[in-house]
Amino acid sequence: MIVGIMTLIFCVVGLLSQVFTRSVQAARVAAGEVRREVHYDTAVDHGDIDRKTMFARAATFLGYLVLFIVLMATIGLIPTIPIFVAAFMWFEGREKWHVILAHSVALTLFVYFVFDQLLRIPCRDGPKSHSVSSGMLDDLRESSIPSNQKECDMQYLDAFNHFFPKPLWDKIQTFEGAGKNIGKRMQNIPCIFDLDERLRVMDQFENYRQVISLGMPPIEQMGTPEATPELARLGNEGFAELCAKYPERFPGYLAALPMNNPDEAIKELERVFSANDEAVGVQVHTNVNGAPLDDERFFGIFETAQKYDRPVFLHPSRGEEMPDYAAEDKSRYEIWWTFGWPYETSAAMARIVLSGMMDKLPNLKLLAHHLGAMVPYFEGRVGPGQDQLGKRTSTEDLSHVLRDLKKRPFDYFKDFYADTAVFGSRPATVCGLEFYGVDKVLFASDSPFDPEKGPGYIRDTIAVLNSLDLPRDDMEKICFRNAQKLFRIQ
C-alpha cells in the first residue's frame, strides 16, 4: 500500500513538473527571449522572462493542476490519465496526434497495471459490474479501503446499535454491581447514554438513521422475575419517547423484554406492538440466564412476534462465569466475548433450527447479529456436516431429528437475516454476503463500541461496503431497503 501511494505521488508530481517546465519554456518563447530549437525539450535559454508572461504561465500550470484534481474526484484515476495527458500535450503544442495517443495509452496502461491489478488499489469509478453472488470470494485480496470513496447520496439505516434511555440508565446506576464487568464498559462510553453525544456522533454521517436497542446486560440479568417487567417497560417507553421526538433520527426501536418472566414478556410485547409506538422488532438474547431459547417456556414470545409480523433480533449473551475449559471456574482473557459471543449466537441458531421452531412458526423472521456469527464461515459443517447428524453420537438416537424437519438444516440457516456488524472486517463481510445474499443482509454498526466510542464502526462499515464494488441496487438493499422492508418503515 505504501509503495503504491509513493508511486502514485511520484507519477503525479513528475507529470505536473513536466507541465510547469514546459509552461515556463513556452512563456520564454512567447516573450521572444529564448530561441526554440526543435521543441520545448531542447529550448536554449538566452535571457530573462517577462514577469507578466511568467505569471500567465504559472496560472496555466495551476489550471492544469485544478483540471487533474477535478477529473480525479469526478471520474477516478484511470479515466483521468488519458484525458489529462491528451489535453496537456495538445494545448502545449506537442506535434502529432499519434504521439499524443501513444503517450496517453502507455501511461494509462502503466497506472492501471501497477495500481489496479498489481496492488489491488481500486482506481475506477462508474458502473458496477459484479455482485457478491457472482463469486466475490474469488476476487478477495488484502487491500486497503480508500477513505475517499463515498456514497454521499446513499441512505444508511443502522439496524443494530445500542443506547439506554435516560430513565432506565439512571435506574440501573442504583443497582449493586452496575459498574462491574460489562457494566464497567458501558460507564466509559458516553454515547450509549448521553443523547447529546449520540446526536453529535450521528451528525458526522450524511443520510444516517438508527433503529435503537438496549445495550448489555440483558434485562433478565438486572433483577428478579418480579422486578424486570418494570425495567423492560421503562426502556421501551424511553425509546418510544425518543422516536416520537426525533423521528428523522430514530425511526424505530427494538423492544426489550423481561425474559426471566415469560408471561410478562408476552404482555409487554403485545403492548408495544399493538400500541404502534415505533417498536419495529424485538431484541432477544441467545440464552435466558443459561436456558436455551428453544425451551418451551419462551415459545409464546416468538409466536407473538410472528403474529405481529415483527422480526426477532438475536444478540449474544455470555460472561466470564462461563469458563473456556471444564476444569476452570471462569473464562480468561475475555475469551468469553471474543469467541464466546459468536459461539453463543451460532448455538442459539442451531437450537432454533434443529428443535423445529422454524417449521412451527414458518413466517417468523429472525436476524442473527454479527453477520450470522460463525455460520457463514462454517458453511461446510452446517451443510454436509449436519446432513450426517447423529452419526457422531452414541449416547442417544438423533436419527429422528432430520426426519422431523421439513428441509435440510442448511436451508433453515439460510433463512435467517444477518447484519454487517463485524467491526469493519472486509473478509467477514464478504463471507457473510456470500452466504446470506444481498436480500438478507442489513446495514448495522454495533455502535458505540468501537475504540472511538461512537463513530468508528459506522465509518468502517460504510468504507468496507464501498470497497466491495457492488451494483447500486445491491448497495441500496443492504444500506437501507432491506431494513425498510423488514421493519415496514420509510
Q: How many structural domains are present in the chain?
A: 2
Q: Could you tell me if 311 and 253 lie in one domain?
A: yes
Where a domain ends, among 55, 85, 118?
118
CA distances from 403 to 296, 350, 410 (A): 21, 16, 14
* CA proximity to 383, closest of 356, 357, 414, 348: 414
Q: Which residues of the chain have pLDDT under 50?
A: 1-4, 6-7, 35-47, 117-134, 137-138, 140-150, 179
Q: Is residue 383 a part of any domain in this protein?
A: yes
pLDDT of the residue at 150: 46
**CA–CA separation, 157 and 443 (whole Å):** 7
45: three-class secondary structure by DSSP: strand
pLDDT of residue 3: 41
pLDDT at residue 122, rounded to an integer = 45
Query: Could you please report the per-residue DSSP string of 12-26?
Result: HHHHHHHHHHHHHHH
In this structure, the answer to whether residues 298 and 414 fall within a common structural domain is yes
In this prediction, residue 2 carries a pLDDT of 46
- Amino acid 174: pLDDT: 85
Residues linked to residue 442 through DSSP beta bridges, in sequence order: 419
Last residue of a domain, one of 66, 87, 118: 118
For 311, the domain range is 136-487
Cβ pair 282, 305 in contact under 8 A: yes
CA distances to 109, 159, 350, 354 from 272, rounded to whole Å, are 60, 18, 28, 30
Helix (H) or strand (E) run with residue 255 in it: strand 252-255
- Same domain? For 111 and 195 the reply is no
- Using one digit for the tens of pLDDT, what is the confidence trace for 120-157? 444 443 333 334 444 554 454 444 444 434 456 899 99
d(CA 95, CA 82): 17
Domain annotation covers residue 130: no
CB 253 within 8 A of CB 280: yes
Cell of 95: 506535434
Is residue 129 one of the residues assigned to a domain? no
So what's the pLDDT on residue 85?
Answer: 74
- Assess whether 186 and 265 both reside in one domain: yes
Single-letter residue type at 321: E
Do residues 81 and 147 both lie within one domain? no
Q: Has residue 123 been placed in a domain?
A: no
Determine the Cα–Cα distance for residues 283 and 256; give it in Å rounded to an integer.
6
Specify the pLDDT at position 65: 74
> For residue 7, what pLDDT is reported?
46
Q: What local confidence, expressed as pLDDT, does residue 9 receive? A: 55
Note whether residue 127 is domain-resident: no
**Cβ-based neighbours of 199, under 8 Å, separated by 6 or more:** 246, 249
Q: What is the CA radius of gyration of the chain?
A: 30
DSSP string over 271-299: HHHHTTSSEEEEEEESEETTEETTSGGGH
Whether the CB-CB separation of 298 and 288 falls below 8 Å is answered with yes
Give yes or no: residues 188 and 84 share one domain. Answer: no
Do residue 257 and residue 323 come from a single domain?
yes
Domain CATH code at residue 409: 3.20.20.140
* Count of Cβ atoms closer than 10 Å to residue 57 Cβ: 21
**Are residues 248 and 355 both part of a single domain?**
yes
Contact 435, 422 (CB under 8 A): no
Strands 34-35 and 44-45, how do they pair?
antiparallel
- 85 and 201: one domain? no
pLDDT for residue 175: 82
249 assigned to some structural domain: yes
For residue 93, is it within any domain? yes
Q: Is residue 125 part of a domain?
A: no
DSSP 341-396: HHHHHHHHHHHHHHTTHHHHSTT--EEEHHHHTTTTTTHHIIIIIGGGTTTT--SS
146 and 112 within one domain: no
- Predicted confidence at residue 486, as pLDDT, reads 98
Do 352 and 211 share a structural domain? Answer: yes
**Same domain flag for 143 and 48:** no
Bridge partner list, 282: 255, 312
pLDDT of residue 148: 39
Domain termination site, one of 91, 118, 145? 118
